[in-house]
Amino acid sequence: MSTPTLNQAQANAVAELLRIAPVAGRLGRLFAEAGHELYLVGGSVRDALLDRLGHDLDFTTSARPDDVEALLRRFSPAVWTIGKEFGTIGCKVEDQGTSWVVEVTTFRSDAYAADSRKPVVQFGDTLAGDLVRRDFTVNAMAVALPENRFVDPYGGLADLAAGQIRTPGTPEASFSDDPLRMMRAARFAAQLGFTPAPEVVAAMTAMADRIAIISAERVRDELTKLLLTDRPRPGLDLLVRTGLADRVLPELPALRLERDEHHRHKDVYEHSLTVLEQAIELEGRLPSRPDLVNRLAALLHDVGKPATRKFEEGGKVSFHHHDVVGAKLVRKRLTALRFSSDEVKAVSELVFLHLRFHGYGEGSWTDSAVRRYVRDAGDQLERLHILTRADCTTRNQAKAARLRAAYDDLEDRIAVLSEQEELASLRPDLDGRQIMALLDVPPGPLVGQAYRHLLELRIEEGPLGPERAEEALRAWWAEQAPG
| pLDDT for residue 415 | 83
Distance between CA atoms of residues 478 and 159, nearest Å = 79
All domains in the chain, ordered by first residue:
1-162 (3.30.460.10), 164-248 (1.10.110.30), 258-425 (1.10.3210), 432-479 (no CATH)
Q: 3-state class of 18 per DSSP?
A: helix
Between strands 195-196 and 317-318, the pairing is unpaired
DSSP string computed for 410-453? HHHHHHHHHHHH-GGG---SS-HHHHHHHHT--SSHHHHHHHHH
Distance between CA atoms of residues 236 and 212, nearest Å = 18
Buried b / exposed e along 440-470 (16+ C-beta atoms within 10 A): eeeeeeebeebbebbeebbbeeeebeeeebb
| pLDDT for residue 167 | 96
pLDDT reading at 111 higher than 50: yes
**187: confidence class by pLDDT, cuts 50, 70, 90:** very high
pLDDT reading at 277 higher than 80: yes
pLDDT reading at 454 higher than 90: no
| pLDDT for residue 3 | 61
**408: confidence class by pLDDT, cuts 50, 70, 90:** confident
| pLDDT for residue 445 | 82
Long-range contacts of 332-336 (CB under 8 A, 24+ apart): 333/249, 333/251, 333/300, 334/296, 336/216
| pLDDT for residue 51 | 79
Q: Express each pLDDT in 44-92 by its tens digit.
A: 999 888 878 888 999 999 999 999 999 999 999 999 999 998 899 999 9
Look up residue 34 and give its DSSP letter: T
| pLDDT for residue 110 | 58
Within its chain, how far is the Cα of 220 from the centroid? 9
| pLDDT for residue 436 | 83
pLDDT reading at 261 higher than 50: no
Share of the chain above pLDDT 70, in %: 89
Contact between residue 218 and residue 247 where contact means Cβ atoms under 8 Å apart: no
Q: Express each pLDDT in 338-372 by its tens digit.
A: 999 999 999 999 999 998 887 665 656 888 888 88
| pLDDT for residue 31 | 96
Q: Express each pLDDT in 130-140 by its tens digit.
A: 998 899 999 99
Residues in Cβ contact with 4 at an 8 Å cutoff, skipping those fewer than 6 apart: 12, 49, 50, 51, 160, 161
DSSP string computed for 193-240? --EE-HHHHHHHHHTGGGGGGS-HHHHHHHHHHHHTSS--HHHHHHHH
pLDDT reading at 263 higher than 60: no
